[in-house]
Structure 1
Amino acid sequence: MLKKIVITLFCLLGVIVFLYSKDIGVTPSLPTYEDHVELDENSLLKEHLIDDSLIISYVDYGQIFEEGWYDLAKPLFWKTIMRLSEDSCVINIGNTREIIAYFAVKEWNKKTDDQKDKYRDSIRNSRNLDASTRIFMTIGKKNFYTYDNILMDISQGTKVFHDEGVDPWYAQAILMIESPGKLAKSSVGAYGPFQLMPGVARNMGLIVNKYQDDRKDFTKSAIGSSRLIARICIPEAKKILDDRGICYKETDLWFRLFVLHVYHAGAANVAAVVREIGPEDGGMELIQQMWTTKASKFGNASQNYSQLALAATLILDEILWGC
């Protein structure tokens, strides 16, 4: 009898401790394998088991392979740069981003300007390129694109977007290319994991002043970014495409990349580059035309933005599956 009473008391104590821990919020930020609960079957989120114990959330990116985006030269170029250390560089053809050679930065810098010009001329001559074709030296950016803890950030960020009713693909893409793994402030004032400008953050409900900056709080920054995507970027992207009678689905990869351009460059600049292109259809062709067209303030950095998103997705694939 006494044994039964003791066992019952221990069970009651366990239940009390469990309920108390829930009340004070003592729960892991990510579910363990034992805590795993199936996501809504209509959710865009997928789950991946890490180290046999930790489940992280991410968004399926199968379209990048199904539609052939993975094999495009420019995203592959940026994937190389994002994985290349800053003491190394590549020589590449500017308009195609074809990589010609790899150099240690120190070795390249030892060359005189005349030697560099002759080397560039030899590339043009060997490929029958026009004399005006630009040949670039691009330094590796691995130190900037640090992905040590990116899976944790993606898991947290995609869930915030999902909970806010916004396509979590955008969280995944933005976290991979906007100061990943660090709290950095850009030269124009964008800050936090989602690189929100002060005025934009305030408009999305965040507090940004000399005493408090919600952009450094991951969850608040994610909420602000999701609101920006849902309230401004997606509606403006739709308007630009609707005005030209271009059909789209919101889960199309090309449409998502188009929205990312609005997020980065602003709707007015994206509208300007679309007017310059004058497309009749969307799809991969429109995105590729945006990579080579400038208009208003839609310049080189804007052209590169969706290329970086594709490159980062290829890197994410390698991280997830250990390729």
Structure 2
Amino acid sequence: MNRQTFLSLILGLFIHVGLLAQPTFFDHHIVEAVGFKNNDNTSLNNYRFIQNKSLYDEKWDTLAQPTFWRTLMRMDEDSALLNIGASRQIITKVAVTEWNALQEERKNAIRDSIRAHYGLSADARIFLTSGKKYFYDFQRVLPIIEKGIDAFKKNGVDPFYAQTILLIESPNKLQKSSVGAYGSFQLMKNVAIQMGLKVNGYVDEREDFDKSAWAASQLIKTICIPETNKMLVERNISISENEIWYKLLVLHVYHAGAGNVKKALEVINPIEGSMELITTLWQTEAGQFRNASQNYSQLALASLLELDALIYRSCDFIYPCVVDNNNESDEMN
């Protein structure tokens, strides 16, 4: 038996066993990327990830907004994209220094010409958004994704949320946001304390990955998902916890808070859960649900798609994992 035939048989066995062992509790596949090459192309590691086929089956990968953010995630901060705010349609790529050298009158004239060319209203926002490659350093977050997956599974929470939050919140380093969110899961101080963490002048347990992961999973389990379900029930919309639109809505609650998401839903008044619900949220402002909130699920999709691209570009093999169906909840020690 030659090596290629042997590998084919082994891969077939892995796939067969892996699919049989997939839990019905969550709609995802945990895969192991074997022989993952780092940026220096010298070290090899194995990492586990959540694979979401629905992103492609449902065409989330074809939307303009995730495509826009994926482009920025590959660009250095000295370059920027001139784009239409509402649709994230890319107009052109520019050098930041050249744009900054222009007089405000010239910048406004360029924006006005874009509005006229595309038939936009006079108040349509035209953004210049700089490259985000420096922030979305996914190589740095790879080693802790599987730790997040395990922590969320242990608490009975879909690990999709762990992987996604880690990708979009602090992928390059542990840092504090302008509003005070901190740690790998970017928890606000009051939320962290509510979830059982110690945050005071002497200690900040948001720095501890395991405790922060437990708190984030507990937040999703006890607040984000119940509040999302409550909003959907009030509108007679079916709860579909395994569908992408639902998971993105939960992420909006995680980021913006249930009150702000509820205000946004009151504006758009959806009658069913779907991709359209999410894409309409991207165009909606209500309360404190504004540009950063609109962007959140766009960044989630872009990050997940970029992770997939990185995996397939950088590893030798991808195997489905045999997973434990035991989803019993454990309390934090």
Give the alignment's TM-score, normalised by structure 1.
0.84
**Residue 166 of structure 1 pairs with residue 150 of structure 2:** no
Asked which structure has the greater RCO (Cα within 8 Å, sep 6+), the reply is 2
Count how many residue pairs are aligned between Structure 1 and Structure 2: 287
- Output the CA distance in 2 between the equivalents of 1:99 and 1:132: 18
**Residue 112 of structure 1 pairs with residue 96 of structure 2:** no
**Residue 41 of structure 1 pairs with residue 22 of structure 2:** yes
Residues 136 and 172 of structure 1: CA distance in aligned 2, closer, same or farther (over 3 Å): same
Aligned match of 1:211: 202
Aligned match of 1:63: 54
Deviations 1:169-194 (A, max 9, x none): 00011001102131111122111000
Runs (5+) with no aligned partner, structure 2: 1-13, 37-43, 315-333
**Residue 139 of structure 1 pairs with residue 130 of structure 2:** yes
Deviations 1:128-172 (A, max 9, x none): 333333221111121122212222121111111111111000001
Please give the secondary structure, in 1, of the residue aligned with 2:33: strand
Residues 123 and 196 of structure 1: CA distance in aligned 2, closer, same or farther (over 3 Å): same
Aligned match of 2:274: 283
**Residue 194 of structure 1 pairs with residue 176 of structure 2:** no
Please give the secondary structure, in 2, of the residue aligned with 1:235: helix
* AA in 2 matched with 1:50: V
Aligned match of 1:29: none
Please give the secondary structure, in 2, of the residue aligned with 1:103: strand
Picking from 237, 252, 269, the partner of 1:261 is 252
* AA in 1 matched with 2:47: I
**Residue 301 of structure 1 pairs with residue 282 of structure 2:** no
| Largest Rg, 1 or 2 | 1
Deviation at 1:45, TM superposition (A): 4.8
Please give the secondary structure, in 1, of the residue aligned with 2:138: coil
Question: Which segment is superposed worse, 137-146 or 97-106?
Answer: 137-146
Runs (5+) with no aligned partner, structure 1: 1-35
**Residue 103 of structure 1 pairs with residue 84 of structure 2:** no
Contact residue 45 and residue 158 of structure 1 kept, 8 A:
no
RMSD across aligned positions (CA): 1.8
Picking from 66, 80, 83, the partner of 1:92 is 83
Deviations 1:87-143 (A, max 9, x none): 001111121111111111111112222222222233233333333332211111211
**Residue 220 of structure 1 pairs with residue 211 of structure 2:** yes
Deviations 1:14-41 (A, max 9, x none): xxxxxxxxxxxxxxxxxxxxxx9x8853
Aligned match of 1:13: none
- Output the CA distance in 2 between the equivalents of 1:234 and 1:278: 19
Please give the secondary structure, in 1, of the residue aligned with 2:80: strand
Aligned match of 1:30: none
Aligned match of 2:34: 50
Contact residue 57 and residue 159 of structure 1 kept, 8 A:
no
**Residue 154 of structure 1 pairs with residue 145 of structure 2:** yes
Deviation at 1:299, TM superposition (A): 1.1
Aligned match of 2:66: 75
* AA in 2 matched with 1:219: D
- Output the CA distance in 2 between the equivalents of 1:94 and 1:143: 22
Q: How does 1:234-249 map to 2 (within 5 A)?
A: 234-249=225-240
Give the alignment's TM-score, normalised by structure 2.
0.82
Please give the secondary structure, in 2, of the residue aligned with 1:322: helix
Deviation at 1:318, TM superposition (A): 0.9
Please give the secondary structure, in 2, of the residue aligned with 1:51: strand
* AA in 2 matched with 1:199: N
Question: Which segment is superposed worse, 229-238 or 111-120?
Answer: 111-120
* AA in 1 matched with 2:78: D
